Structure 1
Amino acid sequence: MPMSPAESFDRYVIEERLGEGAAGEVYRAVDTRLRRKVALKVLRRDPEMESEAWERNVARMLREARAAAGLTHPNIVAVYDVGEHDGVPFIAMELVDGKTLRSSIGRDLPQSERLEILLQVAFALAAAHASGVVHRDVKPENVMVREDGVAKVLDFGIARRLPGALTNTQDSGVSRLSRLTGDGSIVGTPAYMSPEQLLGHEIDARADQFSWGVMAFELMAGRLPFRTDGGGLGLVTSILNDEPRELSDAPEELAAIVRRALSKSPDERFPSMEDLAEAVAGVVASQLPPAPPMRKKMLSSGIRLVYAQAPEAAAPAPAPPPPARTNPILIVGAAALAVGLFIGGVLFLLQRSQDGAAPPASAAPAATSAPR
């Protein structure tokens, strides 16, 4: 049963319900211990699930949530707390003031903003993969976009373990597709699943590339890359067998990246999400105006590329004039002249001194005449 405002759940006080789904509800709540607002995700048990299966899935979900709590990245919603209260598992997460990317699909959003959102999501996925966490449920509903344009990816390592997910690889293909598609209508997650995930095969981080590619196509074109006219089963069949539509509503370079991410075989996709993110970063950089100059930084884990507008460089202060340089030939000449004058003066003084000491012999003393 949904909780009401002012109701307490563990140390959290409910303010309002933000959303709900088959697996539970998400509430805006206040952490009374740390006195901060959080998004509180409370998981609910499927009435048809047996106790043993429920306990196994809860234990797995809590283990995965604790692993996700170790992720620190500006484009990943932080996980603050995980636990159980009265047998109900919960996750307390960063409260993002914004709206899901789903609300931007099909709207007249500037292409530059769409490219930047896709780049931020790629950063987040690459950082998670570097920490050993695969999302497995990348879709517009799991991306929040703040008013300032910052994208935040939700539910790392959590959504893949929710009750009803594709975890039993021994089910027949027909039963799996029936559970996924219900009465034939398109349900959210299967539309973004990679072929190997739909088939129940072992998956790795490259499955997130495929999901990112579906989301990127939908954000740029306003529709899914595979046929949807056959309902849910037709969509899954198209994902498994058809080539994606041409993405004509995006730069050619991005269309090539998306096409590679949507390859049926994981080996034909990018070697890593980091490689995909770097390719998208190049497209974003090429779409930005050339002035003012841009600078590129590599931040946490060598994953997140940040393109920031550099302030206009201040005009450098005029350099002081260099000291006047004297011709070395002139210096040598002046020194030689000074030495010559000095020596000449000394010789002149010596000659005068000798002349005064020995008067000439022919000189007679002056006669003194007396009057007669």
Structure 2
Amino acid sequence: MRDEYYGRLLVQRYQLLEIAGKGSMGQVYQAKDTLLGGVIVAVKFLSRSKMNQRVRDRFMREATISALLGEKSIHIVKVRDYGVDDEEMPFYVMEYLKGDSLKEAMQNKPMPLPKFFSFMRQICLGLQCAHDGIEIDGNVTQVVHRDIKPSNIIIVKDATLGELVKVLDFGIALLKSDESPTGFMGTPAYCSPEQMDGKTLDNRADIYSLGIMMFQMLTAELPLKPKASSFEGWFQSHHYQKPKLFSEVKAPLNLPQALMDIVNQCMAKTAEQRPSSVTEVLKVLEQIEQNSAQTSAPLASQPNPQSAPTPTTAEAICLQSTWPKDKPRAEIVFPQLIPYQQTELATMWIMLSRSDIEKYQNNKPHSQFLFVGSPHPMLLWLTTLYQDEQQHRMLPCYLDLKKPIGEKILQILTQTGSYRLILFALEGDERCVCTIEGKVPARKIQLLKEWSLESQNTSATHGQIKESKRSLKEELEALKPKLVASLQRQISKKN
């Protein structure tokens, strides 16, 4: 689709191409950034018919909020520039995202659970970033999106994640520092009762919208059906109509009860009855996903009397590990992938004295990550085992992000947020003594994803590996006192 602006050059830099999308407030163009060799970007304009100072201010605030959030999360569209053209029309420049909206991806049928969990994890991480807040004038201010719906979620192909999900359109986002509500704004089918009332909102308004959207993803139907598709009709439905039961939808479903419960909790009529944060929703979904994976794991075939049963759980498979013949029997650490079901487990293999294993095996490990992008992209994956404030063991493991094993382990860490330590004893045989499951906090998963994307765009040579590794070692030595102090504070709190 072309129009009169095709080929127009904005501020001697952005050459407009085709219209990429239209909305009530304006339109988005695909454009070339001539300053950066023709990189394709998206340029959003305000509609002339909407032009007034209040709308201009809100448009600029949308660009500011998106720019600040886009720097914190890969799950929010990045804003790169803001300007005014020769006719005093404001615009801002975003990364160009070629993909489908969640609305298109749903295809009017229930979404398979693996895809649902993957998409929801990423949507929650994007919303979590907004709700955690941005710094404006030295103060951290929470952001409520106010328009969470399938058409404001986009899915693009990504080499690391397979499908990268991003939250779009902060055009009507609300800053918690705003002194008074601005009246009703949003999409009626997805708005919370308090948003329909034009009341002051917090993050739980977005959680309500998230609940409506999750129901739609799982069933291909909306949970509410107003008598009339008008503001008044939706107002009545959101306030007084009970959401449809999962058993009432047309498509046959086989969903975990816990999943149906969390969706219904998100759609509670009052904010106080909903989960208090997106972080809480994310934790529940991750636990349900983990339980579902274990329940759906294929059962081992019946063994004959002469054979042992085939291990089916991640724990059992890891316990079958034996020390590689090409590795020395010494206190070393290295990464390893273990086949599991249709995928692989990210593991760290460790050899320690038996006394150390006995000392640390019942405590959860603490994970930390350091990254250098140049001259060669490398990740230092540091796991610390500890017993008390004085006794701890740091286990550094280096991942070359230009090697398949490094790329794959990083991908698994970002997708699952978990890994396993496989421990072997110096004094024992080649068999695994025990395993310990480790978790990667959500805020660190976000960093890992950003580093993964950065490493893909970095060209490097083999000779630069040592330089990057040396840089990481120096950074670790400088960071150790802070890590130990942080660990001691955590232990003291538990005690």
TM-score relative to the length of structure 2: 0.53
The alpha-carbon distance between structure 1 residues 23 and 114, as it changes in their structure 2 partners (threshold 3 A), is same
Query: Whose RCO is larger (CA < 8 A, sep 6+)?
Result: 1
1:156-175 equivalences in 2 (<5 Å)? 157-160=170-173, 168-169=182-183
Q: For 1:295 and 1:266, how far apart are their aligned partners in 2?
A: 39
- Segments of 5+ residues of structure 2 without an aligned counterpart are 134-141, 175-179, 248-252, 298-312, 315-339, 348-365, 370-412, 431-495
| Residue matched to 1:349 | none
Mapped contact 2:110–2:217 kept (Cα < 8 A)? no
For residues 172-223 of structure 1, give each alpha carbon's deviation from its aligned partner in whole angstroms, at most 9, with x where no partner exists: xxxx7xxx8xxxxxxx811111111111111111111011111111111111
Residues 145 and 3 of structure 1, relative CA distance in 2, 3 Å threshold: farther
Partner of 2:47: 44
Separation in 1, partners of 2:429, 2:241: 70
Instruction: Describe the shift of the 1:202–1:256 C-alpha distance in structure 2 as closer, same or farther (beyond 3 A).
Output: same
- Structure 2 letter corresponding to 1:246: L
Match of 2:127 among 125, 128, 144: 125
Distance between the aligned counterparts of 1:286 and 1:298, measured in 2? 23
Q: Which residue of 1 aligns with 2:55?
A: 57
1:346 is aligned to none
Q: What residue number does 1:172 align with?
A: none
The answer (yes or no) to whether the contact 1:104–1:219 under 8 Å persists in 2 is no
Partner of 1:212: 210
CA contact 1:62–1:83 (8 Å) conserved in 2:
no
- Matched with 1:333 is none
Greater gyration radius? 1
Q: Which residue in the other structure is 1:140 paired with?
A: 150
Q: 1:41-89 CA distances to partner (integer Å, 9 max, x unpaired)?
A: 112133xx6x6xx212211331242132112212111111223223222
How far apart, CA to CA, are the structure 2 residues paired with 1:136 and 1:14? 30
Match of 1:224 among 222, 225, 229: 222
In the alignment, is the contact (CA less than 8 A) between 2:26 and 2:45 conserved in 1? yes
Q: C-alpha offsets along residues 121-169 of structure 1, whole Å, 9 cap, x if unaligned?
A: 11110111112222111111111112322211112x32348xxxx9643
Q: Which of 89, 113, 116 is residue 114 of structure 1 equivalent to?
A: 116
Q: How does 1:171-190 map to 2 (within 5 A)?
A: 189-190=187-188
Gaps of 5+ in 1: 170-175, 181-187, 322-372
Counterpart for residue 93 of structure 2: 92
1:278 equivalent to 2:283? Answer: yes
Give, in angstroms, the shift of residue 237 of structure 1: 1.2
Q: Is the 8 A contact 1:76 1:154 kept in 2?
A: yes
What residue identity is the alignment partner of 1:220?
A: L
Question: For the Cα contact (< 8 Å) 1:116–1:284, is it kept in 2?
Answer: no
Q: Deviations over 1:26-54 (max 9, x none)?
A: 121112223422122112133xx6x6xx2
Distance in 2 (CA, whole Å) between partners of 1:223 and 1:280 is: 20
Stretch moving more, 13-22 or 136-145: 13-22
CA distance in structure 2 between the partners assigned to 1:93 and 1:6 by the alignment? 18
Change (3 A) 1:253 1:25: same
**1:294-314, Cα deviation, whole Å (9 max, x unpaired):** 5699899xxx97416869979
Alignment-mate amino acid for residue 168 of structure 2: L
The alpha-carbon distance between structure 1 residues 33 and 318, as it changes in their structure 2 partners (threshold 3 A), is farther
Q: Following TM superposition, by how much is the alpha carbon of 1:117 offset from its aligned partner in structure 2, in angstroms? A: 0.7
Distance 1:224 1:108, change over 3 A: closer
- Contact kept? 1:294, 1:308, Cα under 8 Å: no
Q: When the two structures are superposed, what TM-score results if normalisation uses the length of structure 1? A: 0.69
After TM superposition, the structure 1 = structure 2 runs for residues 1-372 of structure 1, keeping only pairs within 5 Å, are 3-10=4-11, 11-35=13-37, 36-46=39-49, 54-71=52-69, 72-85=72-85, 86-105=87-106, 106-107=108-109, 109-131=111-133, 132-147=142-157, 148-155=162-169, 157-160=170-173, 168-169=182-183, 189-232=187-230, 233-248=232-247, 249=253, 250-288=255-293, 289=297, 290-291=313-314, 292=340, 306-307=415-416
For these two proteins, the number of residue pairs brought into alignment is 292
Contact kept in structure 1, 2:110 and 2:218, CA below 8 Å: no
Q: Is the 8 A contact 1:299 1:306 kept in 2?
A: no
The secondary structure found in structure 2 opposite 1:69 is: helix
Say which is worse superposed, 117-126 or 67-76, in terms of deviation.
67-76
C-alpha distance 194-245 of structure 1, shift in aligned 2 (>3 A): same
SS in 1 for 2:143: coil
**Distance in 2 of aligned mates of 1:319 and 1:118:** 44
Inter-CA distance 317–6: structure 2 relative to 1 (3 Å threshold):
farther
Q: Aligned with 1:231: secondary structure? A: coil
CA distance in 2, matches of 1:315, 1:3: 70
Q: In 2, Cα distance between the equivalents of 1:294 and 1:102? A: 32
Give the RMSD, CA atoms, in angstroms.
Answer: 3.4
Structure 1 residues 251 and 28 mapped into 2: Cα distance closer, same or farther (>3 Å)? farther
Amino acid at match of 1:123: L
